[in-house]
Structure 1
Amino acid sequence: MSKLFSRLKLVLQFIYTSIGFFPTLISLLFFGLAVLMIYFETRGISNYLKDDLPFFIITHGETANMILSTIASGIFSLIVFSFTMVMLVLNQASSNFSPRVIPGLISSKSNQKVLGLYLGTLIYTLVVMVNVRSEHYDADLPGLAVFLAMCFTILCLAFFVYFIHSISASIQIDNILEGIYNTTLAKLHKEIELDEGAKLPAIFETGNWLDLESRHTGYLQHVDRKSVISLCQQHNVVLEFLQPLGNFVIKGLPFARVTNTLKDKDSFCENLDVLLHYYQEELAEINYLYGFKQITESAVKALSPSVNDPGTAIKAIDYLTDLFIVRMGLTDEKIYHDDEGTLRLRLDEVSFEELMGACLGPLRVYGKEDPVILLRLLNLFQSLCYGVAKHPKYKDILYNEASHILQDANATIKNPGDRGKLNAMAKALNTTDALPRKLALLTP
C-alpha cells in the first residue's frame, strides 16, 4: 500500500504542476454543465422561462446558430492567440533569463485557469450547438443554454484582458525573481520545521555499513521520507544517503548504505526504489536548492554583455542575502527518527559552504569588474555578519568567501575611488567582530 501511495503522490504532483491540469479540469466541468443544461432543456426549462424572461431566451433558430458559430470561432481564435502568447513568453524567459525558470512559469495557476475558461466555453458551445433544433425539446430551441454561452463568452473577454496583463507581468524579471524567492523561502521554512537539529550519533563513524547500489541513472530529486522511515522500521535498519537530494547518481554505483543487520537486501532495495523519484524538472517547491540556483543564474545572465542589467543582479543578491540568513538555521547533517524515537534515516543537505560557493562564485567571477556588484556582495556579507551570531560555526565560511571577493577586486578594480569604497566596506566588516580574522584590504 505504501508503494502505491508513494507513486500516486508523485503522479498527482506532476499532474498538478503541468500546464494542462486546470485547463483539463475546467473543461470537464464545462462539459458536465453543458450536459446538465441539455437535460434541463429536454425538461422544457426554456419554454417555462420564455414568458418571464423573454429577453434572455432565444427563440429564432438562425439567430441561435449564428451566435453559437460566432462564439465557437471567436473563442478558438482566443485560444490560439493565448497559447501563442504563452509560448512566446516561455521562449523569451529562456533566452533572457534562465531556462530553469520555465517550469515555474508553466505552473502559474492563474494563466492555466484562464486557458481552462476558454477551452471550457468552447466545449460548452459545441455541445449546445449540436443540440439546436433537436426533436427532444418541448421548446423549439435550447434558448437558455444559448444565453449562458453568450454569458460565458463575455466572461472570456473580461478574462482575456486580465490574461494580457498577467502574461505581461509574468515575463518581468522582478516578478520572476520574487516568485522564486517566495517559493524558496517557504520551502526553507518547511525544512527547518522538519529539522530535528540533533547531533550525529557515533554509529555513522564507528558502525558497520552495507553499501546499496543505485538502480537508476539520473538526478535523485525526491525521497518519500515517511515511507522510507517506515520501511527502515520494518527491516530494523538505519539508512544513510551518501549524496544530497538533487545530485546525479549512476546505476550500479553506491548511493546509500544501511547497517549490516539487513537480512533481505534485494527486498529492501526493491521497496526502497519505489520510494525514490527521479525526474529532470528543477522546482523550488520540491528542493530549495533549485531556488538558489535559479536566482543565481538569473543574476549571472543579467551580468552578461548581451543583457547588461546590473540592477537585476543587485536585486538577486538582495534576495540571496535573506535566503542565506534563513539557511543558517538549517543543519547540514539531517537525521530522522521513527514514531518510537529510534534513528532510521540520514539525509544530508548540501552544506552551507558548498551552497555559498555555488551561488557567490559565479557572481564574483562575472561581476568582478563591476564595483557596484562587488559592493553589493560585500553588503551581503555585512548582513550575514549580523545573522551569524546565532550560528558561529559559519564564521570561517563567511571570512573565506569575503576574502575571495576582495582578492578578485584587488586584481581587477583599478580606479582609486572604487578601491577606496571597497576598502571602506571591508573595514566596516572588520568592525563587526563577526569574522574570525580581519579581512585584508585592497593594496593602495
Structure 2
Amino acid sequence: MQKVRLQWDNLRASFWFLPSMMVTVTMAFAILLIELDYGGFTQWLNRWPRFFGVEAQGARQILSTLAGSMMTIMSITFSMTLLALVLASGQYTSRILRNFMRSRVTQSTLGVFASIFAYCLIVLRTIRGTGNGDIEQFVPSLAVFFAFVMSLVGVVVLIYFIHHIASSIQASSIIASVAQETNAAIDRLLPIKSDYEKENEPNDPLAESLDERTWYPVPAKKSGYIQDVNLDTLLSEACLNRTIVRMERGIGEFLVQDTPLVSLALTYPPEQTLINALNAAYSISRHRTVKQDPAFGIRQIEDMAIKALSPGVNDTSTAVMCVDYLTAILARLAGRQFPSRYRYESQSLRLVVIAPSFEKLLAQAINQIRGNAEGNVVIVKCLLNSLDCIASLTHRRGNLSALDQQVTLIGELSKRSIKCKNEREQVDNLLLKVKHTLYVQADFSREDHALHH
C-alpha cells in the first residue's frame, strides 16, 4: 500500500499526468456535446442566433484560429516554465526543481491549453458542408460555443500563470513552500510529545550484545535513494524467522546495488524468499522526497543558504531568510517524539532501525551554514538568535545539550573570524544571552524531572 501511495505521489508530481487527465476529460466532453447536437437535443439554441448561429465555414475558421492560438500559447507556457526552472536552479539549488514540477498551477495551465487544443480539433473534424445551402451540413453549435467560452477561460488562466511564475521564482516563495512541505511531513510522521515524558534510552540493555552476534548481510537489488521503508514488514519478517533485523541504510540515504540493505542475526545464510521480502519492504527511486524524509526539506533550505553565502552570489538577505525558516522547522521538531531505534515482540528485540533525531537534524540544518559564515556577522547573529528561540521552546535535556554544542561552535567561529572589536562584543553579548536561556531551561528541566519522579 505504501508503494502504491508513493507511485501516486510520483504521478502527481509529473508534468504529464494531470494535463493528460484534463485532455482526456475534455475530449469526452467534446464528444458528449457533439452527440447532443447530432441527436437534435439542442434545437432550442436556434432561438438565439446571435450566440449560436454559425455556418460551417465560419465554425471552421473559429475552431482553426482557436486551435492554432492555443498551441502557440502552450509553447509560450512551456518556454516560461523552463526559463523559471533554469533561473531557480542557477540562483538557488537544483534540488528545488521538483517543487516547481509539482506545482498544480503549472500543471493545470498546461492541461487547460492542451485541452482546448484537443477539444477544437475534435469538434472541427465533425463539421460537414460548406454553408452554401448544403442539405447535409452539420455544425455542432453548442460545441462551437463552448470552444469560444473555453478560449476565454484560457486567456484568464494565462494571465494568472504569468503572475504565478513571477511570484514563484522569488526566494521567499520558494523557501516558504519547502518549509511548508517539511512541516507537513513532520506533523504526519512525528507526534507531539510532552517534555515530561521519559526520554528514549540511548543504550538499550538488550542491544548491548548485538556486536557479539553473527550478522548476515542482505544485498540490495537496485541502486537509488530510499524513499520509504515498511517497518511493519521488517518487523513481521523478523518475528516470523525468529531473528533480529538491523537496518544498514535509512530513509533518504543512497543505496548501491549489492551492498548491505539490512543485516540478519542468524546462524545460517538467509533464504532467497526472505531476501526478496526484505527488499520489497523498501521503496527506492532516483530522487529523494520530503513526504517521508523531512531531513530532505531541511537540506533544500540549507543548500539555498549556502548558495546565497557563496562569494559568487553573496546574498546575505536570502541566507537570513533560510535561517529564519529553519528556525521555525527546528522549533517544531523540538516538541516532537522521535521514534526509538529498537522494536520488540513482547520482550524480544526484533528490529533495529535508523531513526531520525533532533540532534542529527539540528546539525544538518546548522553545520554547513555555520561553516560558510566566517566573518559574516549578520549570519552569526542570526544563528545565535535562532538557537536562543529554539532553546526557549524545549526542556528536553538531549535537545538542550545539542543546542549548547552548536552555541559553543559558533562562539569558536566568532573568535576566529570576527576581527572588529565592536562586532565581537555584540556577538559575545548574544552568546551570553543564549547560554543564559539554555541554563534556565536546563534548570527548569531538572526541577521538573525531580517533581515528576
Q: TM-score, normalised by structure 2?
A: 0.86
Q: Measure how far apart 1:261 and its partner are.
A: 8.0
Match of 1:61 in 2: 56
Q: Residues 387 and 305 from structure 1, CA distance in 2 versus in 1: closer, same or farther, beyond 3 angstroms?
A: same
Indicate the SS of the match to 2:10: helix
Counterpart residue type for residue 262 of structure 2: A
**Which residue pairs with 1:282 in the alignment?**
288
- d(CA) in 1 for partners of 2:232 and 2:125? 51
What's the CA shift for 1:251? 3.1
Query: Does the Cα contact within 8 Å between 1:18 and 1:107 map onto a contact in 2?
Result: yes
Tell me how far 1:7 sits from its aligned partner.
Answer: 4.5
Answer whether contact 1:101 1:294 (CA < 8 A) is retained: yes
SS at structure 1 position matched to 2:52: coil
Structure 1 equivalent of residue 330 of structure 2: 324
Work out whether residues 56 and 137 of structure 2, in 8 Å CA contact, stay in contact via their aligned partners in 1.
no
Taking the TM superposition and a 5 Å limit, the aligned residue runs for 1:77-226 are: 77-133=72-128, 140-193=138-191, 202-206=205-209, 208=213, 210-215=215-220, 216-226=222-232
| Contact residue 192 and residue 337 of structure 2 kept, 8 A | no
Say if 1:414 and 1:332 are closer, same or farther in 2 by CA, change over 3 A.
farther
Aligned length: 429
Deviation at 1:66, TM superposition (A): 0.8
> Which runs of 5 or more structure 2 residues have no equivalent in the other structure?
444-453
Question: For the Cα contact (< 8 Å) 1:97–1:298, is it kept in 2?
Answer: yes
Which of 305, 310, 320 in structure 2 is aligned with 1:314?
A: 320
Counterparts in 2 of 1:334-349, with a 5 A limit?
334-335=341-342, 345-349=351-355
Secondary structure, in 3 states, of the residue corresponding to 2:88? Answer: helix
The residue identity in structure 2 corresponding to 1:52 is R
Correspondence 1:366 to 2:372: yes
What is the aligned counterpart of 1:354 among 348, 352, 360?
360
Contact 1:237 1:261 in 2 (8 A): no
SS at match of 1:100: helix
Name the SS of the counterpart of 1:130 in structure 2. Answer: helix
Question: Whole-Å Cα distance in 2 between the matches of residues 414 and 194 of structure 1?
Answer: 43
Change (3 A) 1:264 1:413: closer
Decide which of 72, 75, 79 is 2:70's aligned counterpart.
Answer: 75
Amino-acid identity (%): 23
Equivalent position SS for 1:252? coil
- How far apart in 2 are the matches of 1:155 and 1:347? 52
Please, which moves more after superposition, 200-209 or 54-63? 200-209
Cα 1:198–1:57 change in 2 (3 A) is same
Separation in structure 1 between the aligned mates of residue 72 and residue 285 of structure 2, nearest angstrom: 35
1:442 alignment partner in structure 2: none
Partner of residue 33, structure 1 = 29
1:423 to 428, 444, 447: 428
Which stretches in structure 1 are left out of the alignment for 5+ residues? 438-444
The equivalent residue for 1:239 is 245
User: Which of 12, 15, 33 matches 2:11?
Assistant: 15
Q: Distance in 2 between matches of 1:114 and 1:232?
A: 49
